[in-house]
Structure 1
Amino acid sequence: MLGQASIPLVGIVDTAVIGRTGDAVALAGVALGATIITLVFWTFGFLRMGMTGLTAQAQGSGDRAEVEALLLRALAIGIALGFFVLAISWPLREAALAILSGTPPVDAEAGGYMQGRFIGAPAALAVYAITGWMLGLGRTRQALALQIVMNMANIGLDIWFVWGLGFGAYGVGLGTACAEGIALVTGLFIVGRIAGANVLAIIARTPRALLTDRARLAKLFAVNRDIMIRTIALLILFTWFANAGARLGAQTLAANHVLLQFVSFAAFILDAFAFTAEQRVGSAFGQGDKARFMRAIRLTGEFSLASGAALALAFLLLGGPLIGFLTTDAAVRETARAYLPYAALVPLVGMPSWLLDGVFIGTTRGVALRNAGVLATVLYIALDLALRPFDNTGAWIAMTASYLLRAGGLALYFPQLIKDVGEPAPSGV
């Protein structure tokens, strides 16, 4: 939970540093730019999610060589994809800004933020792989240390670049990119401590035949393909929501972005239990231990429910002052406080979807994740369009309902998952 709570601090710090300049347009630009960067970077979120389940299963079956081979494969894929994203960053940025509904001043600020963030793409995607590997091994303390290093670096660099050097939205993006580079170096050091050898030594002792084994690569790409489709679907969902705010003006966009910091914080806190479920469920699934499998789901579910309720109450009680801290613009504050109850409801309503994500990721059920994610996104967009006459209220109702849609889609696959514990995995999952 501590490790997960530290992750959204990146977005919260980005928001607070630029928000306290009093420039609503710059804050809206960071909001729009962050939405696009999240869409691009988390398209490759399978590097974190797929790695956790596969690593947990390899550890559960006692296959140490495959555990290390998974790390090497994911690092190679992450770094290669990161440089590819960096190479095409200009057309990506221009196309995204042309599609979304920002005003020219907001687009200019968003473009500056994105320019800074894209520099960190190779490091960011490599850190996804390292984090997923650590979580798959149950090394949560090391994952916490990695996040703390990145967040502390991000805080210091953001303040320096924005308040010290006056770089504005570009400085926020550049500070985060530099922090991701620092996190990569730190992550490689931690990997060496866990494995008892640095990455070069791991490469040297891993058989080439294992790294390129067709069956293992086929499973890796099948799982990652389905998780990637699922992730893209959910990112489209969140981008659609951000665009709804942009359509209603810079103040609404900025206010929704402030409230999304609450949602993000809740998501990462509750994902702590989902990640625990990934590791515990994945390991039990690899061993074929149904009793341990069900116990992991029950315990993580109980803690998730209690935490979701506590977060919802905390947001209602403390949300007003926190909004005042994140932005000094009076109009943005007023709008954000008006819609705070919707953001406060998300931890409770969204808890089942996050927990089920963890269960299905840990068991590498990519088809179920893909189908539930795509269905939830399609139904969400239809609901949002139907609620357009209610402006931002309709947008928040549709967003809140999307979590129930996602959980419902995964619940349809849950009975079959229980039956499959201890049995050979069906083909294509």
Structure 2
Amino acid sequence: MIAKDPALDRRIWMLAWPLLLSNITAPLLGLVDTAVVGHLDSPVYLAAVALGSNVFMFLYFSFNFLRMGTTGFTSQARGAGEATLVVLLRALLLSTLVGSALILLRPLLSDVALWLLGGSDEVQGLAREYIGIRILGAPAALGNFALIGFAIGLHRTSVPLKMTVLMHSSNVLLDVLLVQVWHFDVRGVAVASAVSEYLGLAGGLFWLRREIFGAAWRALPVGALKQVAPMLQLLAVNRDIFIRSLTLLTVFFFFTAQGARLGDTVLAANAVLITFLLLLSNTLDGFANAAEALVGDATGRRDRRALDAAVAGTGKWTLIIAAAALLAFVAGGGPLIRLLTDLPGVRDTATTYLPWMLLLPLTASAGFWLDGVFVGATLARQMRNTMMVATALFFPVWWLTSGWGNHGLWLAMNLFMASRGVLMGWVWYRISAWAE
């Protein structure tokens, strides 16, 4: 029985709600780009932006370790009463180096990505222009990951929300001006996205100015950035989270590819149903981020009671939100499918496989929550290993049930999600028992 702690519950919600709003509004950026080019006089523009956006979705998700690693180290430094600014400076240095490397490698990245994604020569040509322009925003996009991670680690979760609002609003304005008014087609969309990343970075630096400049800067330990060991530790954590993210992306890309082999209607229906998973993950990520901040703070202070309370408190709210999501999916699953598509065949197929989606709040929620716990405790190696084991289980399950068609594919996905939660829960239990 989890003891009631109103003060902790309020703290969790104060941390979670700005991140919850930020996560839910994040997909709006892609919707705006789609809506703007979707009204041009040829479908090739929409296809080109769709290809280019997928490239950056994969690319930036792969480097999301900059956000996670920065959150864990910042929250632990905060709890231990150590300088937090040096954590941010190391992350910003790493994001600048990686972002600059991506710009230099953009011809190779474009060639490989477009070879994998396909498309007509005209669409690929436009997508290549889009990628070539938008990649110029990579240092800012990765720098934003570092700033957001730093803000969460400091429990300043309103900052990521402000940054998201600034980026989205500026992107909308620039999209309309560059595409609808000045007719720059996909180039305008790419410029708008890249510029909005830099505006978000400027906004983050402004809203975190007290934590970065002034007294914090003057108190920065001399030679802190020259210390090799902390930088190697950051690189090791980021490496493990990077591998974990690539493994997760592999499962989702394989899932999409197998759906495509079952036909266009199944592929489209699965894309509709994945929206349910995105809604669930974006909602629960707010509480996972709260877990990152609270667990990291308690770990830095070496306060076992606060650590256990943070894990139990965020776990309780994850369970409550998962139950609410299950009820919402049961009541609103059919209407949401009808909202997302008006094609009768896709609607009927999505409705057939909807029961598998109803299981996801039960099978996936623990994994999302424990991601936050592990990030706060900087258990990146354990995150990587459990993800790899869960992935190793996914493929045999899919192969054994491949005769069931899409039902087997969704069974494998649910078991993959459930195994992540079970494995991470077992690892956390073992670590907690050893620490006693």
Task: Please tell me the TM-score bracket, short chain as reference.
Answer: 0.7 to 0.9
Supply the RMSD in Å over aligned alpha carbons.
Answer: 3.4
Kindly provide the amino acid, as one letter, of the partner of residue 86 in structure 2. Answer: A
1:78 is the counterpart of 2:95: yes
User: C-alpha offsets along residues 272-311 of structure 1, whole Å, 9 cap, x if unaligned?
Assistant: 1111111111111121211111111111111001111212
- Aligned residue number for residue 427 of structure 1: none
Q: Give the stretch that moved more between structures: 242-251 or 404-413.
A: 242-251
Residues 15, 30 of structure 1: 8 Å contact kept: no
Residues 31, 254 of structure 1: 8 Å contact kept: no
- Structure 1 pair 390/227, CA: closer, same or farther in 2 (3 Å)? same
Deviation for aligned residue 1:177 = 3.3
User: C-alpha offsets along residues 10-47 of structure 1, whole Å, 9 cap, x if unaligned?
Assistant: 32452476379499997777666544423322222221
Residues 18, 157 of structure 2: 8 Å contact kept: no
- Aligned residue number for residue 11 of structure 1: 27
- Structure 1 pair 183/116, CA: closer, same or farther in 2 (3 Å)? same
SS state at 1:408 partner: helix
Deviation for aligned residue 1:385 = 3.7
Output the CA distance in 2 between the equivalents of 1:231 and 1:116: 25
1:371 is the counterpart of 2:388: no
Residues 349, 403 of structure 1: 8 Å contact kept: yes
- Structure 1 pair 247/362, CA: closer, same or farther in 2 (3 Å)? same
SS state at 2:208 partner: helix
Output the CA distance in 1 between the equivalents of 2:359 and 2:169: 30
Kindly provide the amino acid, as one letter, of the partner of residue 47 in structure 1. Answer: L
1:192 is the counterpart of 2:206: no
Residues 277, 359 of structure 1: 8 Å contact kept: yes
Output the CA distance in 2 between the equivalents of 1:133 and 1:140: 10
Output the CA distance in 2 between the equivalents of 1:181 and 1:203: 22
Residues 17, 159 of structure 1: 8 Å contact kept: no
Output the CA distance in 2 between the equivalents of 1:245 and 1:112: 30
Deviation for aligned residue 1:161 = 5.8
What is the total number of aligned residue pairs between the two structures? Answer: 416
2:56 corresponds to which of 16, 37, 47: 37
Deviation for aligned residue 1:49 = 0.6
Kindly provide the amino acid, as one letter, of the partner of residue 131 in structure 1. Answer: I
- Aligned residue number for residue 361 of structure 1: 375
- Structure 1 pair 204/246, CA: closer, same or farther in 2 (3 Å)? farther
2:67 corresponds to which of 48, 55, 75: 48
- Structure 1 pair 168/350, CA: closer, same or farther in 2 (3 Å)? farther
User: C-alpha offsets along residues 128-178 of structure 1, whole Å, 9 cap, x if unaligned?
Assistant: 000000111111122222222223334444566666677777665554433
Output the CA distance in 2 between the equivalents of 1:27 and 1:369: 37
TM-score after normalising by structure 1: 0.83
Residues 19, 289 of structure 2: 8 Å contact kept: no
Residues 346, 400 of structure 1: 8 Å contact kept: yes
- Structure 1 pair 258/158, CA: closer, same or farther in 2 (3 Å)? farther
Kindly provide the amino acid, as one letter, of the partner of residue 134 in structure 1. Answer: A
- Structure 1 pair 144/213, CA: closer, same or farther in 2 (3 Å)? same
1:296 is the counterpart of 2:310: yes
Output the CA distance in 2 between the equivalents of 1:32 and 1:351: 30
Deviation for aligned residue 1:398 = 2.2
1:268 is the counterpart of 2:282: yes
- Aligned residue number for residue 12 of structure 2: none
Residues 85, 211 of structure 2: 8 Å contact kept: no
- Aligned residue number for residue 87 of structure 1: 104
Output the CA distance in 2 between the equivalents of 1:363 and 1:98: 39
2:162 corresponds to which of 141, 145, 149: 145
SS state at 2:378 partner: coil
SS state at 1:260 partner: helix
Output the CA distance in 2 between the equivalents of 1:383 and 1:301: 28
- Structure 1 pair 180/260, CA: closer, same or farther in 2 (3 Å)? farther
Residues 24, 283 of structure 2: 8 Å contact kept: no
Output the CA distance in 2 between the equivalents of 1:253 and 1:105: 24
1:280 is the counterpart of 2:280: no
User: C-alpha offsets along residues 248-287 of structure 1, whole Å, 9 cap, x if unaligned?
Assistant: 4555545444433332232121111111111111111121
Output the CA distance in 2 between the equivalents of 1:334 and 1:226: 41
Output the CA distance in 2 between the equivalents of 1:166 and 1:323: 34
Kindly provide the amino acid, as one letter, of the partner of residue 191 in structure 1. Answer: L
Residues 45, 123 of structure 2: 8 Å contact kept: no
2:223 corresponds to which of 209, 226, 234: 209
- Aligned residue number for residue 181 of structure 1: 198
- Aligned residue number for residue 61 of structure 1: 80
- Structure 1 pair 170/25, CA: closer, same or farther in 2 (3 Å)? same
Output the CA distance in 2 between the equivalents of 1:55 and 1:208: 19
Output the CA distance in 1 between the equivalents of 2:51 and 2:420: 24
Residues 290, 314 of structure 2: 8 Å contact kept: yes
SS state at 2:223 partner: helix
Kindly provide the amino acid, as one letter, of the partner of residue 149 in structure 2. Answer: G
Residues 23, 285 of structure 2: 8 Å contact kept: no
In terms of Rg, which structure is larger?
A: 2
TM-score after normalising by structure 2: 0.82
Output the CA distance in 1 between the equivalents of 2:44 and 2:25: 22
Residues 210, 216 of structure 2: 8 Å contact kept: no
Question: 1:101-140, aligned counterparts within 5 Å?
Answer: 104=120, 108=124, 114-115=131-132, 117-140=134-157
Output the CA distance in 2 between the equivalents of 1:338 and 1:167: 42
- Aligned residue number for residue 362 of structure 2: 348
Quick one: percent identity of the two aligned structures?
A: 36
User: C-alpha offsets along residues 98-148 of structure 1, whole Å, 9 cap, x if unaligned?
Assistant: 345x55489748666655643432211100000000111111122222222
SS state at 1:412 partner: helix
- Aligned residue number for residue 426 of structure 1: none
Q: Give the stretch that moved more between structures: 52-61 or 141-150.
A: 141-150
Kindly provide the amino acid, as one letter, of the partner of residue 19 in structure 2. Answer: G
Residues 271, 355 of structure 1: 8 Å contact kept: yes
Deviation for aligned residue 1:216 = 1.7
Output the CA distance in 1 between the equivalents of 2:87 and 2:207: 16
Deviation for aligned residue 1:335 = 4.7
Output the CA distance in 1 between the equivalents of 2:51 and 2:356: 20
Output the CA distance in 1 between the equivalents of 2:170 and 2:357: 28
1:417 is the counterpart of 2:434: no
- Structure 1 pair 168/236, CA: closer, same or farther in 2 (3 Å)? farther
